[in-house]
């Protein structure tokens, strides 16, 4: 059921915006080095927003507001909920790291993080080209500032400049593609664009020309090859807490706008954009996995791992097509949604360990820095091992089921090209398993380089333990989350 209730569609955004402004004011009077009051209020705000979006998602209703510019549906609300939780976990992991490096001195980290989350919300809720682009720019501008947060660090400043230049180019690609679509269809509204293309009266060459730029812009945002050049440099150069902030929750928002733009608005052009995504997926799997093998820097290795993981996620979008029947499309898109959610969960755990091992004056960025971690702390070595095994796709962890769901969607199509893609994905995953297992080998079989014990505050230790346990539990019992993703995608495709 679709209702025209404008304010209902944006109440999470309103709550988040109001609380962000209040937190910014509270921060002015918070003089503690770790910004304790600001931190607690931020976590309470994020918890409240997560509950609001989770309840809205559980209702399963779809609302359009503001002349159809905004949509509130199950898929969007679940993505908002998971993105909010991801930001909460990021702040828990990143606060000690940021405090040791005086990144909380001005308090911008919390407010910029909340504004980035607001940008994600606008992106996910957008049912209009203009609104999606505004949300994307709010996220990216906040991300640029976060990367440059350590003003006295030359490496972080360089990473911010690279991110800004390449991000601006990506935004230009996307905006140019959207303007071409507007020129061809005469509308910024996704539903109207869908109807205009479906008539077959719009010049197909103009549509495909615009589509190329849109897909290129989206590929930049998710870090898919060959538009991946910013990912390794920014991941390595940014402060680790910021690396996690830009590498976890935004992937959920990127998946959301891919569904909104390509599936909701440009589904009649699926045969064109799926071929483009297939090429991006193949390039990402090859470049990501092969380049990661050569890395000694852990953050840079995980950056190339992200490129490969996004390639796998794109394969699910390639497999979904109305030509295969609605049920197959729902299964394929829901497999991609499940994949990106579980990828974010695993990324939080892996970077959480890196942040935990970092100390004042020591970043713990090299793979060798993990040497003998099992002897220093079996718990944290176990969490890191679970994260690495999951990223490699080993059973019974959730990464295995996520990869299996995408491969099943490809094989279910019955087309020889899709089955070939599935075989190719398996082969590249086997190659990728090498660098994940190398990290585990270093932790369990190499001699420790330091005798210092690993200590963490109660909140970090608790969240890390839950994080690692969820990777295992969702691998053994994936049905609930998979059903949630399927129902959310089905509700989105239905309208």
CA-CA distance, 3 to 12, in Å (whole number)?
17
pLDDT at 2 over 50: no
Please identify which residue in the block is written with the tokens 């959480």: 352
pLDDT in tens, 167-179: 888 889 999 999 9
- Phi–psi pair at 65, nearest 5 degrees: -140, 170
Chain-centre distance for alpha carbon 197: 30
Query: Which strands make up the sheet holding 62-65, listed edge to edge?
Result: 2-4, 62-65, 70-72
Confidence of residue 117 (pLDDT cuts 50, 70, 90): very high
pLDDT at 60: 79
pLDDT at 3 over 50: no
pLDDT at 435 over 80: yes
CA-CA distance, 44 to 50, in Å (whole number)?
10
pTM over cut 0.85: yes
CA-CA distance, 490 to 487, in Å (whole number)?
5
pLDDT in tens, 452-465: 777 778 888 999 99
Tokens of 387: 């994260």
H-helix segments, 60-203? 74-100, 108-125, 129-147, 154-185, 190-198
pLDDT in tens, 181-233: 998 888 888 888 888 888 878 888 888 889 999 999 999 988 888 888 888 99
CA-CA distance, 409 to 441, in Å (whole number)?
33
Pairing of strands 2-4, 62-65: parallel
Which residue(s) pair with 126 in the sheet? 70
Q: What is the radius of gyration, based on Cα positions, of the chain? A: 21
Closest CA to 127 of 259, 216, 317: 259
Please tell me what DSSP assigns to residue 1.
-
Contacting residues for 90 by C-beta, under 8 A, at least 6 apart:
113, 241, 244, 245, 248, 249, 348
Burial class from Cβ neighbours inside 10 Å (0-12, 13-18, 19+) for residue 186 reads: exposed
Tokens of 85: 């939780």
């Amino acid at each position: 059921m679709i209702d025209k209730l404008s304010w209902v569609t944006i109440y999470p955004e309103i709550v988040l915006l109001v609380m962000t402004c209040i937190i910014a004011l509270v921060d002015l009077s918070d003089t503690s080095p770790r910004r304790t009051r600001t931190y607690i209020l931020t976590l309470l705000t994020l918890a409240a927003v997560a509950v609001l979006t989770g309840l809205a998602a559980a209702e399963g209703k779809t609302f359009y507001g503001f002349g159809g510019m905004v949509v509130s549906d199950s898929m969007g609300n679940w993505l908002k909920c998971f993105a909010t939780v991801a930001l909460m976990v990021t702040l828990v992991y990143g606060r000690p790291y940021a405090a040791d490096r005086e990144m909380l001195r001005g308090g911008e980290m919390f407010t910029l993080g909340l504004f980035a989350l607001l940008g994600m919300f606008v992106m996910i809720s957008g049912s209009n080209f203009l609104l999606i682009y505004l949300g994307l720019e709010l996220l990216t501008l906040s991300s640029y500032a976060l990367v440059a947060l350590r003003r006295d660090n030359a490496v972080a400043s360089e990473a911010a400049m690279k991110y800004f230049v390449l991000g601006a180019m990506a935004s230009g690609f996307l905006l140019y593609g959207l303007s071409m679509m507007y020129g061809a269809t005469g509308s910024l509204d996704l539903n109207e664009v869908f109807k205009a293309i479906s008539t077959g009266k719009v010049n197909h060459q103009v549509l495909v020309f615009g589509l190329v730029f849109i897909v290129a812009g989206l590929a930049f945002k998710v870090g898919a090859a060959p538009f991946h050049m910013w990912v390794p440099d920014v991941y390595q150069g940014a402060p680790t807490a910021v690396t996690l902030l830009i590498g976890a929750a935004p992937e959920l928002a990127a998946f959301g706008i891919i569904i909104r733009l390509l599936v909701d608005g440009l589904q009649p052009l699926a045969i064109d954009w799926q071929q483009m995504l297939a090429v991006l997926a193949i390039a990402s799997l090859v470049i990501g996995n092969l380049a990661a093998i050569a890395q000694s820097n852990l953050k840079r290795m995980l950056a190339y791992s992200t490129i490969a993981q996004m390639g796998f996620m794109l394969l699910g979008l390639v497999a979904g097509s109305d030509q295969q029947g609605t049920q197959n499309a729902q299964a394929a898109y829901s497999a991609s949604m499940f994949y990106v959610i579980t990828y974010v969960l695993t990324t939080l755990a892996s970077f959480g360990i890196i942040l935990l091992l970092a100390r004042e004056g020591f970043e713990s960025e090299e793979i060798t820095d993990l040497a003998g971690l099992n002897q220093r702390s079996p718990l944290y070595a176990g969490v890191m091992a679970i994260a690495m095994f999951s990223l490699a796709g080993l059973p019974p962890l959730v990464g295995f089921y996520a990869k299996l769901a995408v491969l099943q969607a490809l094989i279910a199509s019955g087309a020889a090209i899709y089955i070939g893609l599935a075989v190719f994905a398996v082969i590249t995953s086997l190659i990728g398993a090498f660098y994940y297992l190398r990290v585990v080998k270093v932790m369990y079989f190499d001699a420790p380089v330091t005798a210092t014990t690993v200590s963490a505050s109660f909140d970090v230790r608790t969240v890390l333990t839950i994080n690692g346990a969820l990777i295992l539990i969702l691998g053994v019992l994936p049905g609930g989350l998979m059903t949630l993703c399927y129902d959310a995608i089905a509700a989105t495709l239905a309208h």
